[in-house]
């Protein structure tokens, strides 16, 4: 009987020893019984590094670090904030005069104009000027310009009231927008065929000039290849995020001005329910 108890005790001891060994090997229990660093601590360390890199101007490294946070901790409550930071960096990289991001460097040739260069690279004059801090359209042979050469496209999700700007399949930025009441914003694939700064609003029985508080189009218009529809600014920023328009996609004026400077004529727009 005593021998039986000895055997039982030895078996239990071996089992406990095996469990402890496996736990130590997996890193679940550290020396002295302390837990190894939790995922929360790992995320906090990565976040601190990303913020430090961003503050120092190392934008590409900061972006990679934020993306690692998103990939490693996709269920973290802060994941939307991390994505927002990535998108902020994306816009800064696009407008950066030095860092190559969906861009190339071009040396101005004789007879070049900004319009000609913009058309060649499928970009906009506004974006070239903003990137290179040009006060006007004058350029001279030999000048080196950073030129965006990305293929941008836009996706609008009506139910979520969001507009996503993409470049070569990468999400650049997500904007909150207003869409049509009663699903009046048409779904489908469209192209931007005209662009206007400070557009006049032609409504039934009246012409509302730009700058008027009654002009619902705001400061920019990007028209689709379907009459009467497009993306525009607003005179009522409180309505952004709601389904309240007559069918157009409405943005805040700062957002639509940013988008206007980035996307060129012919840009594909996909509107989804």
Active site residues: 232, 248
Can you tell me which residue has the tokens 């980035």? 262
Q: Which of 242, 245, 214 is nearest to 232 (CA)?
A: 245
Question: What is the C-alpha separation between 232 and 213, in angstroms, rounded?
Answer: 15
Given the DSSP bridges, would you call strands 268-272 and 188-197 parallel, antiparallel or unpaired? antiparallel
Q: What is the dihedral of CA 214, 220, 225, 229, to 10 degrees?
A: -30
Contact 150, 168 (CB under 8 A): yes
Q: How many CB atoms lie within 10 A of CB 250?
A: 30
Contact 251, 231 (CB under 8 A): yes
Q: What is the dihedral of CA 158, 160, 163, 166, to 10 degrees?
A: -110
């Amino acid at each position: 009987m005593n021998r039986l108890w000895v055997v039982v005790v030895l078996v239990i001891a071996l089992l406990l020893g095996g469990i402890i060994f496996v736990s130590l090997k997996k890193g679940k229990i550290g020396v002295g019984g302390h837990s190894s660093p939790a995922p929360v601590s790992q995320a906090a360390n990565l976040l601190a590094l990303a913020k430090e890199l961003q503050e120092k101007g190392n934008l590409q490294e900061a972006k990679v670090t934020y993306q690692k946070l998103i990939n490693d901790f996709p269920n973290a409550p802060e994941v939307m904030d991390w994505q927002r930071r990535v998108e902020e960096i994306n816009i800064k990289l696009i407008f950066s005069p030095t860092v190559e991001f969906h861009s190339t460097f071009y040396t101005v040739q004789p007879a070049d104009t900004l319009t000609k260069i913009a058309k060649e690279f499928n970009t906009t004059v506004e974006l070239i000027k903003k990137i290179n801090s040009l006060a006007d359209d004058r350029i001279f042979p030999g000048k080196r310009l950073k030129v965006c050469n990305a293929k941008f496209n836009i996706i609008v999700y009506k139910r979520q009231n969001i507009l996503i700007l993409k470049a070569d399949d990468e999400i650049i930025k997500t904007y909150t927008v207003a869409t049509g009441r009663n699903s009046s914003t048409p779904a489908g694939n469209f192209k931007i065929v005209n662009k206007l700064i400070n557009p006049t609003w032609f409504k039934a029985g009246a012409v509302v000039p730009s700058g008027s508080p009654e002009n619902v189009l705001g400061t920019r218009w990007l028209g689709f290849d379907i009459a009467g529809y497009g993306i525009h600014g607003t005179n009522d920023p409180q309505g952004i995020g709601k389904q309240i328009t007559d069918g157009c996609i409405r943005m805040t004026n700062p957002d639509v001005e940013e988008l206007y400077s980035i996307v060129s004529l012919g840009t594909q727009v996909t509107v989804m329910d």
